[in-house]
Structure 1
Amino acid sequence: MAQISYYTEEGLQKLKDELHQMKTVERPSISQQIAEARDKGDLSENAEYDAAKEAQGLLEMKIAKLEEIIANARVVDESQLDNSKALILSKVKIKHTGNGMEMEYTLVAENEADLKAKKISVDSPIGKGLLGKKVGDIAEIQTPAGVTKFEVLEISR
């Protein structure tokens, strides 16, 4: 059973662009490398041929995996989401109850997570701990250092 993943429009388009790149640029390039190596003669002792065939196998595996991800992807309609709770695509402002440090993250799908852009996965410990919380709630999140408490200050889109 394939797992359904939720994406923003931009995140799904990025996956489709990557798949298009693999099929239209990388696949023909590897086919060309195989043809050139085949033209050099004896295939039983041809390292270039073996390397190109291995690269082709890996690329085909990546293409198949990406096609499966795209087939099971669903775009999240932000207009249908409840703004009172932290859900996927929510921008959540939290405060560490221990040191008072405030942080703001956007909850996104696993493949769209980017800590530099302050986007964390809903599958991460913090993401899981924040899901379903409302403003004023305390999220107790299990971290390697123990249980950490965060107060939800604000939820927006």
Structure 2
Amino acid sequence: MAEEKQHYMTEEGKHKLEEELDQLKTVKRKEVVERIKIARDFGDLSENSEYDAAKDEQAFVESRIQQLEQMIRNAVIIEDDDSHPDVVNIGKTVTFQELPDGDEETYTIVGSAEADPFEGKISNDSPIAKSLMGKRIGNQVTVVTPGGEMNVKIVNVQ
């Protein structure tokens, strides 16, 4: 059997996944089963769009439950490593400036399960994070993105 992918996350991120899983198992799953029961009463299942929609939602919910269980089972909690406070790593917040005179941007590098660019959280698998990992404050780095290359200088790591 192939080795399952490890999912890096903070303790908070794991807790959020556990809450979502609990919600899906205890609430959403029951709601969908009830929708299926009601839709069956509408008659011929072959032409019943309510039934089809409920079955599709059931498939989505069950798939998401399996995905969350796998992510939680293979969670690797990111520990706060203070031994190298100026080195970019998972769990750290990094501020960099686009060179030569761009604005500063700040992101927290998290595992893919927690990534939310709109909240300033980028995946450790993203091109930006991959380029910055292991670098220190003051380093200049070339980041290769789908939109092209950009040169940045790391100005802060927390």
Q: What is the aligned partner in structure 2 of residue 155 from structure 1?
A: 157
Q: Structure 1 length normalisation: TM-score?
A: 0.86
Distance 2:39 2:146 in 1: 50
SS of equivalent residue, structure 1 residue 150:
strand
Q: What is the aligned partner in structure 1 of residue 30 from structure 2?
A: 28
Q: What is the aligned partner in structure 2 of residue 19 from structure 1?
A: 21
- Tell me if structure 1 keeps the 8 A contact 2:35–2:54: yes
SS of equivalent residue, structure 2 residue 87:
coil
CA RMSD of aligned residues (A): 2.0
Report the number of matched residues. 156
Deviation at 1:48, TM superposition (A): 2.8
Q: What is the aligned partner in structure 1 of residue 69 from structure 2?
A: 67
Specify the code of the residue in structure 1 equivalent to 2:93. Answer: K
- Tell me if structure 2 keeps the 8 A contact 1:93–1:152: yes
Q: What is the aligned partner in structure 2 of residue 37 from structure 1?
A: 39
Specify the code of the residue in structure 2 equivalent to 1:15. Answer: L
After superposition, the Cα gap between the structure-2 partners of 1:46 and 1:105, relative to the gap in structure 1 and judged at 3 Å, is: closer
SS of equivalent residue, structure 1 residue 103:
strand
Percent identity between the two aligned chains: 40
Q: What is the aligned partner in structure 2 of residue 104 from structure 1?
A: 106
Q: Structure 2 length normalisation: TM-score?
A: 0.86
Specify the code of the residue in structure 2 equivalent to 1:2. Answer: E
Which structure shows the bigger proportion of residues in helix conformation?
1
Deviation at 1:83, TM superposition (A): 1.8
Distance 1:79 1:145 in 2: 32
After superposition, the Cα gap between the structure-2 partners of 1:70 and 1:149, relative to the gap in structure 1 and judged at 3 Å, is: same
Q: What is the aligned partner in structure 1 of residue 12 from structure 2?
A: 10
Q: What is the aligned partner in structure 1 of residue 90 from structure 2?
A: 88
Distance 1:80 1:27 in 2: 42
